[in-house]
Amino acid sequence: MKFVILLSFSIVLLFPTSCTSVKQIGKINMISNRNVDSNLDYGLIASYSGGTKRELKKSRALTVEDAVDQTVRKVPGGEFLMNSKVYLVKNKYFAVEGDVWGVKANATYRGFKVGDKVIIDGVLNTIATIKSLKDDKTCFIERINGLIEEIKYDRLSKAE
């Protein structure tokens, strides 16, 4: 009986430490892999990018530089991170969370930018306007009838 109680107590104590796969290893005020131009007027594009538990656990960046690139590239127009946290995932990979800054006016992704006229694949004679670039997979469009919806970039092509 003592053995069962001791074993149960040991499992309870060791369980939380064996399940933690994401550990914060540092905080950084600003981090970038690109040159920052002091003459440009940068603005906040996205807050806490890359910081959800799912995004952190999904990271497979082998270096901090790769982790920064992954986080910045997810946000159209992103240039650098501020107020960042660096994490070690599964004692092997790195992940970075932070506020993404960039030049909003120059934000493009896959050749699309806000205000572009686009045609939706699979929908005949439907021209829409891009209202905002959400992330690296989707954007928001406004159809002619005023309906705004989220759609994947793969379904869009530029209208002439």
Which CATH architecture group holds 108-158?
A: Roll (2.30)
Residue 51: which of 71, 73, 32 has the closest Cα? 71
3-state secondary structure of 123: coil
Q: What residues does each domain of the chain span? A: 21-106, 108-158
pLDDT in tens, 118-157: 988 877 667 899 888 887 788 889 988 888 888 888 888 8
| Spatial separation of the C-alpha atoms in residues 44 and 61, rounded to whole Å | 24
The conformation of residue 24, written as its DSSP 8-state character, comes to: E
pLDDT in tens, 64-113: 999 999 999 888 888 899 999 999 999 999 999 999 998 766 677 778 88
Ranking 4-8, 23-27, 64-68, 150-154 by mean pLDDT, the lowest is 4-8
Mean pLDDT, residues 26-49 taken together: 88
